[in-house]
Structure 1
């Protein structure tokens, strides 16, 4: 099966399989046995009838059961604890769908600007935080913020480039998070795996989300209780009637499919993925990994290194609306609107729907 966004048919992180994967697991096993103080690993005395396991305590469900259960000391445990069926969100209202269509139209318009700059030549600079930025980032943000002020007047906007420049916004119960060009490294490299991300947050939870990949003409859109996928070039009409509903797939009983970052792999996330029973690991840039999860192409997307709120909010809304969940690595709810933390998100775990009958 060919997967989108991959460098190969089965993705670029298939090193978890075959001889290399066995050697990697053996190396982790030896280290875990030799040292009990390995960061973020610890030994747990399993409950009766279950094996001991080296567990990543950074990923625990509120139920108290560890959900990533690394199989370093015995057979793998389940990816998630048994949890009841996810309560479906109510279907979006006509007003919600109209707003979602307007937000999608803004993202497509930003795509036109980005593609025009991409065609004309990319001028990359390095910001004070050592991350790359281009003229397309700023032009996209300017267009998005102007359009949002028309569609949602009076709603505060937290946008990446303005925030990086020191602009401070007084937040309310509702506010918007904007990443005008997520995946600048992918944009500069020319692989097309960059996105425009727009999220409307209500009560610290993302309720509306748009992820748009202009170079691929791929649109993901989510409102409360509904998630969609559509193919739309930047100059196309939004045409909501042609959007296809998408859902996360139920967690399989065996090996899982995992999404991983193409440009931001970190040792902890890599170790977690290597420890799981993985059928396929798909590398992708930007917020496209949330789209893979929402349409059921993968089951699990971990990110244990920091991101910003505007990186994850739209994808969070999308996965929630598609029947999955996104939480902090310790299992606590992931909330938004934290200027006291400089809008930093210290990692997350995103997963699809619970197993059928769970």
Structure 2
């Protein structure tokens, strides 16, 4: 009896369609009027590298502000105090309900309604105080805090209520219970969407070019306005964004793997382990199972008789 694998004709048709589309894309790029030499030249240009560094910096500080403020808002939202819960709900409602670009312009043009800023210990003209970096930080960070508040709230609520009750029975107060019991378990739920938010923030930071902050996208635009290589510089910017998002996607995977300890019996494989498994699977020969036929296929132990004609036990 021959074991014949099932043929999946739909898969092969899908592969042919995908390969055809990829071939058409490659052919279109080969015929496009793109100077790839300019792309290679400006990939390591000083202005582009500086813009990538500023993009990474504004993303990190904005995300840090968003995470810290988001956790505080989540705790306020879950508080039994109606005033704190209402203020947190109103904050989330406003910043999630308005576009990021509008918020950036609101902060950048704050001098139209406030001539000076006076914090008691600091006083200055609003035009001097509200720099493009500060406007970008407030616009991105405060907007991100609204989304992080909901992510943190979902993570906190995912922890079983019995954990909190057991901690209180041991004499822990609310603050210590939150730090030592609830948040460490909630991190398994919080980390994946937080990593996605960071990568999204990395791309959303390109909007701050509109308020004169020289990040990666604005650096590419300023160069293309001089050399008129518009499409080439957009490709350079795209490559850098792909590099940054790929690096942090790998970091997110290992961070999720770290917090999965204790929650899963077997940790998900690392990227290197996946590559090794794929190579091993490709090299492994496929052996078809063929059952022998004829008199030699009969097992003497199952025939019911031995060589001398007696019954076997």
TM-score, normalising length from structure 2?
Answer: 0.26
Higher relative helix content: 2
More strand by share: 1
Query: Greater CA radius of gyration, 1 or 2?
Result: 2
> Structure 1 length normalisation: TM-score?
0.24
